[in-house]
Amino acid sequence: MKRASLLGAAALALSLLWSANSSAFCLTRGCSDDEQDCEYDERGCLQTGPLLHWASSCVSFDLQSSGSPLRGIDYDDAHGAIIAGFEQWLHADCGDGRGPSISISDYGPVECRQAEYNQDSPNANIFMFRDDDWPYENAIDTLALTTLIFNAGTGEIYDADVEVNTNQSPMSIGNIKATDIDFDSVITHEIGHFLGLSHSDAQGSTMRPSYAPGQTSMSSIEYDDVEGVCTALPPERRTTTDSCEPRHGFASECALPKTQCSLTPGSPGGLASVLVSILGLSSTLLRRRSRPSGRRP
């Protein structure tokens, strides 16, 4: 039975050249350098493993009900920013007046604030805040992480959770100062990961892997981002269902800890053919890593 493994914390700054005449986005694939010989193209895009994708034409999301008291971000403000972020991606023009082949269902506030996937019980795709701690080693520069749990054979995404590092980052909404981190920019970037995009080396794109405090431009997607989401979710894409329900049903509360059926990032799980992919956004003013690194949980 395959153990779950980390594909890599993709919170890094790339130094690749970009031409305005070529696409710079990368799609997310399922390959672990720990267990496989993963191949990359000249842009640094992973070429090995299945493309990660949602099998349904509709995906639900939820938001931690308490928001971030530490940063003064309440549920309503965070919810509005997330809705605006999704609208950026879903309104991308893929040609002929069509957009990406996915819709989003808002399942409202939840009490759970843990990134987890339950193999045999209900789940939720949660946006959450980490006010009390940031539990990831060697990731002090990471502003947020999106965890995708997927089938390693097919690439079908089973679950997605977004964690925002409010513990270490001065996250703010509106009236962004030079030292502030714009929540709208961070969350729009993470929604790109949620939808199946990896990073891009195109200047000005929302899916750039690093962020400079004080900037707000990443809250609006650019041409390369549009190309990316239209490639990941083309209008003609075939889906197997139109259900918005999370896998095994919806749960507003976290599962009991340390059960055989619960998988959390950085922990081993008894899930055959499932991997964990962690993708995120880093701050350019803090410590950076030069390339993805894989490690066993």
> Which tokens go with 189?
């970037």
Residue 25's pLDDT band, with cuts at 50, 70 and 90, is very high
Measure the CA–CA gap between 19 and 201, rounded to whole angstroms: 10
Measure the CA–CA gap between 191 and 34, rounded to whole angstroms: 26
Tell me the per-residue pLDDT of 207-221, one tens digit each, with 9 for 90 and over. Answer: 999 999 999 999 999
Q: Which of 180, 205, 95, 188 is nearest to 144 (CA)?
A: 188
Measure the CA–CA gap between 211 and 282, rounded to whole angstroms: 6
Question: What domains can be seen in the chain, in order of their start residue?
Answer: 6-14+25-283 (3.40.390.10)
What pTM was estimated for this model as a whole?
Answer: 0.84
Q: Which residue carries 């949660």 as its tokens? A: 126
Tell me the per-residue pLDDT of 238-255, one tens digit each, with 9 for 90 and over. Answer: 999 999 999 999 998 887
Measure the CA–CA gap between 151 and 218, rounded to whole angstroms: 30
